[in-house]
């Protein structure tokens, strides 16, 4: 081999070596999620309103960021199982949480050791929505007055289902019972789908449910809507009275969802997720679909979400004290 051929060969080898070294560096600099699979942990059983909301989130993130965004259901223990899993996950953006009002403002008060701190163990990316929920009953109950009269006549003989101790559904029913001066039997489930199944079957009498989860059952006559905890009747259910109309002044409540990451998740990843969700929730088609499900668009950002968590923790702590609830 001539000297010139030897130099050319050496230059080719060096170039190939440089390219092989540069490839991993280029891959490492690829924007999140760089084609990887991302799990959005859902803290309720499949089939409920959380799936509708989770799908809105995963579809939006996948469409705008690429990669693969999937829902990973980890129900149980009043949402603490899924929340604890995410709090302990590697902070690389590949494990996210579909947070709920229960996860961040109720479960930490209802359980002695939920396994996570609602403020410090997460990077609070943004709220997802406020969601309408309402009191529904097995169709054998014709009205709110009839249900409450039966509960008043036979204490703890009328049952209500919830998706767990210390959840929004549980607290709303405690509030209603306190206002009405009645006692009802609480039957907690691991999620809203099994609770709703038993209410439809008549094994439980009633429950607070998210509109997105029960709308089809209402339209099919399998559930009867009794009242909504809103200031005025809703566009989606104009014939359903408010609790205020039924002589429960000030009985107003909504539930909310958020997207969370483990604490110490890098800021560039958080900003990409938040930016994609901002674009997604600004889409008129997405907003129109959310409206049909009784969902109001979110206030984007970490600060308003953290402020809301702190405020509602204080309110719920007082409500639980009044109800005589002790952490379990």
Per-residue pLDDT of 18-45, as tens digits, reads 444 443 443 446 899 999 999 999 998 8
The two tokens of residue 153 are 């006549």
CB neighbours of 301 closer than 8 A, spacing ≥ 6? 126, 274
Report the distance separating Cα 210 and Cα 131, nearest Å: 7
- For CA atoms 159, 148, 230, 306, the dihedral sign is negative
Does 62 score more than 90 pLDDT? yes
Report the distance separating Cα 185 and Cα 180, nearest Å: 14
* pLDDT tens digits along 216-251: 999 999 999 999 999 899 888 999 999 999 999 999
The full set of domain ranges for the chain reads 37-130+254-323, 133-246
Q: Give, to the nearest 10 degrees, the angle between helix 192-201 and helix 211-219.
A: 20
Kindly indicate whether the domain formed by 133-246 is annotated with CATH number 3.40.190.10.
yes
The two tokens of residue 127 are 């709220």
Q: Using omega within 30 degrees of 0 as the cis cutoff, is the peptide bond preceding 64 cis?
A: no
Q: Give, to the nearest 10 degrees, the angle between helix 267-282 and helix 49-65.
A: 110
Q: How does 166-198 read in b/e, with b if 16+ C-beta sit within 10 Å? A: bbbbbbbbbbbbeebebebebbbbbbbbbbbeb
DSSP single-letter state for residue 76? -
Asked whether the beta carbons of 263 and 119 are under 8 A apart, the reply is no
- 37-130+254-323 and 133-246 share one fold: yes
Distance from the Cα of residue 265 to its chain's centroid: 20
* pLDDT tens digits along 276-286: 999 999 999 99
| Number of residues that make up the chain | 328
Q: What pLDDT is stored for residue 29 in this prediction?
A: 61
Report the distance separating Cα 321 and Cα 171, nearest Å: 12
Q: What is the mean pLDDT of residues 132-139?
A: 95
Report the distance separating Cα 132 and Cα 176, nearest Å: 17
- The structural architecture, per CATH, of the domain 37-130+254-323 is 3-Layer(aba) Sandwich (3.40)
């Amino acid at each position: 081999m001539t000297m010139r051929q030897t130099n050319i060969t050496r230059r080719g080898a060096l170039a190939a070596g440089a390219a092989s070294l540069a490839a991993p560096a280029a891959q490492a600099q690829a924007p999140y999620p760089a084609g990887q699979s991302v799990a959005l942990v859902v803290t309720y059983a499949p089939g409920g309103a959380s799936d509708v909301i989770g799908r809105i989130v995963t579809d939006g993130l996948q469409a705008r960021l690429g990669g693969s965004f999937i829902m990973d259901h980890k129900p149980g223990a009043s949402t603490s199982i899924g929340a604890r899993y995410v709090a302990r996950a590697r902070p690389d953006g590949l494990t996210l949480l579909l947070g709920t009002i229960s996860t961040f403002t109720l479960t930490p008060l209802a359980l002695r050791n939920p396994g996570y701190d609602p403020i410090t163990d997460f990077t609070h990316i943004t709220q997802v929505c406020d969601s309408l929920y309402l009191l529904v009953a097995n169709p054998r109950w014709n009205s709110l007055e009839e249900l409450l009269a039966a509960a008043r006549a036979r204490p703890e003989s009328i049952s209500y289902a919830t998706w767990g101790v210390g959840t929004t559904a549980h607290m709303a029913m405690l509030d209603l019972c306190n206002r009405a001066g009645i006692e009802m039997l609480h039957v907690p489930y691991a999620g809203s789908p099994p609770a709703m199944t038993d209410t439809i079957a008549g094994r439980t009498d009633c429950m607070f449910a998210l509109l997105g989860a029960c709308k089809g059952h209402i339209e099919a006559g399998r559930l009867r809507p009794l009242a909504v905890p809103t200031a005025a009747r809703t566009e989606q259910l104009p014939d359903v009275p408010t609790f205020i109309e039924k002589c429960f002044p000030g009985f107003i409540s909504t539930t909310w969802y958020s997207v969370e990451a483990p604490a110490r998740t890098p800021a560039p990843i958080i900003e990409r997720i938040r930016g994609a969700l901002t674009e997604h929730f600004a889409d008129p088609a997405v907003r129109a679909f959310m409206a049909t499900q009784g969902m109001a668009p979110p206030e984007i950002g970490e600060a308003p979400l953290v402020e809301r968590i702190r405020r509602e923790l204080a309110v719920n702590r007082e409500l639980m004290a009044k109800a005589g609830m002790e952490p379990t």
